[in-house]
Amino acid sequence: MDNLESIPPHFRNQLSHHQQPSPAPEDGGNPTKYLESLPIIDLENLNNDKNEVEEACQNWGLFRLVNHGIPSSLLRQLHEQTKQVFSLSYESKQASCDGSHVNYFCGSTALTPSGTTIPNERHNTNFFEGFGIPSDQLFKFHPQIPILESFRVLLVEYEKHMSRIATTLFEGMIKNLELEMEESKYKLEDKTGLFRVYRYLHCSDPDGGLGLAVHTDSSVLTILNQEDEVSGLEVLRDHQWLTVKPISNTLIVNIGDLMQAISDDKYKSALHRVKVDKHKDRVSTAYFIYSGEGVTIKSSNYIPFTANQFLAQVEQDIKTIGHKIGLSRFKRNEDN
């Protein structure tokens, strides 16, 4: 395998040798089936696309965003720099985050909101590594490695676009839901933004492991910038896993658990996973945004809770039972 030093040590034996074919998974192990009909939302025409947005949020939980206003040159640079960052040695990547609020992690989806791996021996190991970078740390994180510093500078510019897009989409959704836009009731805060930058390692037997296990996002919205050449993101649709085809200069937007609660279950948090590729590594940059600090989410289906309370419960569940429970923890009983 190329650049073995860049791979976390506990993956090297598993990924550097040809693996024997594994038994067919429950979904049948069929060849990749692309999701051709994924809803497309035009950010420049958002006010006129109300029906399309509602259809995407209610029936899909994700959509492809076009005309988002991010220069293609910035997206291209981000992809190239991401690959260079992950080509660094494992030790360099791990040491680069020492003494900062930026985190390097690998093999576990059990992460705190800041990106730190939650200690738990029962979670599944997945074939990926990544960095967790809170938006409010971008100006405080100054790595000594030139490649990482160049990448940080790009993220500073990219974050401006993510904040703009997330706010525009969220305000449009709140308007469509006919909820009152009271600043104290519904708002996003830039400081809650979190980047998770991933490399999914290729594997000779892609059915032998996942990049990311099946999950929903805990955010209000997630905005994904995935590599153009290598697919991997899959969404569950009509009881079948379908691959979201990567298309240049587009973004994928996921509805998160918090947005589902805000909408009183009118919008659906997308159930998705990531499969590894047989021949190539895959990189992606995901931006997660949460409701503002102190904002209480109130709806008829859930007891009132804040984003911090929700994330704390997710973290506690992962620590104690090994996996996320999510919104079910906050469902109202008949007695509530």
Say what the pLDDT of residue 217 is: 95
Report the run of H or E that residue 157 belongs to, with start and end. Answer: helix 146-176
Handedness of CA 198, 221, 307, 154 (dihedral sign): positive
Residues 6+ apart with CB under 8 A from 295: 184, 185, 186, 187, 306, 307
Architecture of domain 32-329: Sandwich (2.60)
Q: What is the mean pLDDT of residues 100-118?
A: 69
pLDDT (tens digit, 9 = 90+) per residue, 156-206? 999 999 999 999 999 999 989 888 655 446 678 888 999 999 999 988 776
Lowest mean pLDDT among 97-111, 216-230, 245-259: 97-111
What would the mean pLDDT of 131-138 be, rounded to a whole number? 92
Question: Is 81 a residue whose pLDDT tops 90?
Answer: yes
pLDDT of 57 > 70? The answer is yes
Return the pLDDT at 322. 80
Residues 6+ apart with CB under 8 A from 1: 7, 12, 15, 16
For the chain, give the percent of residues with pLDDT over 70.
83
Nearest to 170 by CA among 66, 43, 272: 43
* CA–CA gap between residue 88 and residue 6 (Å, rounded): 5
Residue 173 Cα to chain centre, angstroms: 20
Instruction: Return the closest-CA partner of residue 113 out of 320, 308, 324, 329.
Output: 308
- Residue 252: its H or E element: strand 251-255
CB 141 within 8 A of CB 113: no
Tell me whether strands 233-237 and 210-215 are parallel, antiparallel or unpaired: unpaired
Mean pLDDT of 35-41: 84
Per DSSP bridges, beta strands 62-66 and 40-42 are parallel
DSSP helix/strand/coil, 182: coil
Let me know: does 324 contact 269? Beta carbons within 8 Å: no
The pLDDT of residue 183: 45
Smallest CA-to-CA distance from 176 within 66, 254, 266 is with 266
Q: What is the mean pLDDT of the chain?
A: 85
Centre a 10 Å sphere on the Cβ of residue 318 and count the other Cβ atoms it contains. 22
Residues 113 and 3: their CA atoms lie apart, in Å, by 30
* pLDDT, position 3: 79
Identify whether the C-beta of residue 322 lies closer than 8 Å to the C-beta of residue 313.
no
Angle subtended at Cα 254 by Cα 249 and Cα 255, rounded to the nearest 5 degrees = 145
Average pLDDT over residues 79-86: 95
Residue 199's DSSP bridge partners are: 129, 283
Residue 220, helix vs strand vs coil? coil
pLDDT digits (tens, 9 = 90+) for 1-16: 467 899 888 787 766 5
Structure tokens at 22: 């594994």
- Contact at 8 Å (CB) between 85 and 148? yes
Distance in angstroms (rounded) separating the CA atoms of residues 2 and 180: 54
Which pTM was predicted? 0.89
Q: How confident is the model at residue 328 (pLDDT cuts 50, 70, 90)?
A: very high
Q: Give backbone dihedrals phi and psi of 241, rounded to 5 degrees, phi first.
A: -85, 125
3-class SS shares of the chain: helix, strand, coil, % to 5: 35, 20, 45
CB–CB of 262/187 below 8 Å? no
CB 199 within 8 A of CB 8: no
